[in-house]
A = this chain, B = another copy of it.
Amino acid sequence: MSIEKLQQYREQMRTELDKVVDFWQKYSHDTQYGGFFTCIGKDGKIYDELKYVWLQGRQVWMYCRLYRTMERFNKPEILEAAKSGGAFLRRFARIPNSGSPWKCAFCLTRDGKALKVQRTIFSECFYVMAMDELARVTGDQDMQAEAAQMMDQLVHWVRVDPSGLGRPQLSGDTPVCSMAVPMMLLCLVQQLTEGRSGEEVDKYREVGGWCVKQILQHLQRGGTAILESVSSEGKELPGCQGRLQNPGHALEAGWFLLQYGLENGDQELQRTAVDKFMEVPFLTGWDKEHGGLLYFLDVDGYCPTQLEWSMKLWWPHCEALIAYLMAYSHTKEPALLERFSQVYDYTFSHFSDAENGEWFGYLTQQGKVTLDFKGGPFKGFFHVPRCLYMCEKILDSILNKQES
Contacts and interface: CB of A to CB of B under 8 A. Distances in A.
A310 B170 contact: no
B39 A240 contact: yes
Given A49-B238, A307-B307, A172 B370 contact: no
Interface stretch (A58-66, A83-91, A282-290, A371-379): A371-379
A365 B307 CA distance: 12
B172 A108 contact: yes
Nearest to A46: B239
A354 to B, nearest CB: 19
Contact of A362 (B117, B307, B372): B307
A296 to B, nearest CB: 11
A171 interface: yes
How many monomers of this protein are in the complex? 2
B113 A172 contact: yes
Contacts of A105: 170
Contacts of A117: 168, 170
Contacts of A171: 113-114
Interface in A295-322: 302-305, 307-311
A329 B175 CA distance: 53
Contacts of A376: 305
- What is the interface of chain A mostly: helix, strand, loop, or mixed? loop
Contacts of A108: 172
A261 interface: no
Given A172-B113, A370-B310, A302 B41 contact: yes
A49 B239 CA distance: 7
Nearest to A378: B305
A105 to B, nearest CB: 7
B362 A370 contact: no
Contact of A303 (B304, B310, B372): B372
A397 interface: no
Interface residues of A, number: 44
A233 interface: no
Contacts of A39: 239-240, 305
A371 B113 contact: no
A291 interface: no
Nearest to A166: B168
A163 to B, nearest CB: 14
A208 B105 CA distance: 36
Interface in A106-145: 108-109, 112-117
Contact of A170 (B50, B95, B308, B365): B95
A371 B108 CA distance: 34
A47 interface: yes
A305 B170 contact: no
A173 interface: yes
A172 B305 contact: no
A365 B109 CA distance: 33
A170 to B, nearest CB: 4
Interface string A149-175: 000000000000000001010111100
Given A305-B39, A310-B370, A47 B240 contact: yes
A364 interface: yes
A302 B41 CA distance: 8
10 contacts: A47-B240, A49-B239, A113-B172, A114-B170, A115-B170, A116-B173, A303-B371, A305-B373, A307-B308, A308-B308
Sort A-B residue pairs by CB-CB distance and give the 6 closest, nearest first.
A113-B172, A48-B239, A115-B172, A114-B170, A109-B172, A307-B308
